[in-house]
Amino acid sequence: MFIVKGFLSGADMVMMLGCHFGDCHYLKGNFACNARMTLLKPYLQAIGINPERLYWNQISASEAIKFKETMENIVKKGKELGPIANELGVHAQGAGAQTSKKTAKAVAEDFFS
């Protein structure tokens, strides 16, 4: 839900990073995150958010170069896609407009409640 709220609040990109499989002291958290990201992308598409705006990868604390390259790629992708308001229009809180129709935020809240 926090990812959807991020987009609806005007975030152009959301990045989720986790430990490599088999190398996490949380044991199963990275597997759960991977499953959630897989399920979330079609939902984002359904509510009008390009799923490419959500980035998920596994990076360890020792992979500084990979982290740097990942950040550069995410910034580049965000610039290519443009502002989230271009997709959500008045539905994005960051766009500053209001609407009386059921907003994407309301759809998301219905879905997760």
Question: What digits encode the pLDDT tens for the residues 39-98?
Answer: 999 999 998 899 999 999 889 889 999 999 999 999 999 999 999 988 876 555 554 444
pLDDT the model gives residue 101: 46
Buried b (16+ CB within 10 A) or exposed e, 10-27: ebbbbebebbeeeebeee
Question: What distance in Å separates the CA atoms of residue 41 and residue 25, rounded to the nearest whole number?
Answer: 26
Q: What is the DSSP letter of 79?
A: H
pLDDT in tens, 5-17: 889 888 999 998 8
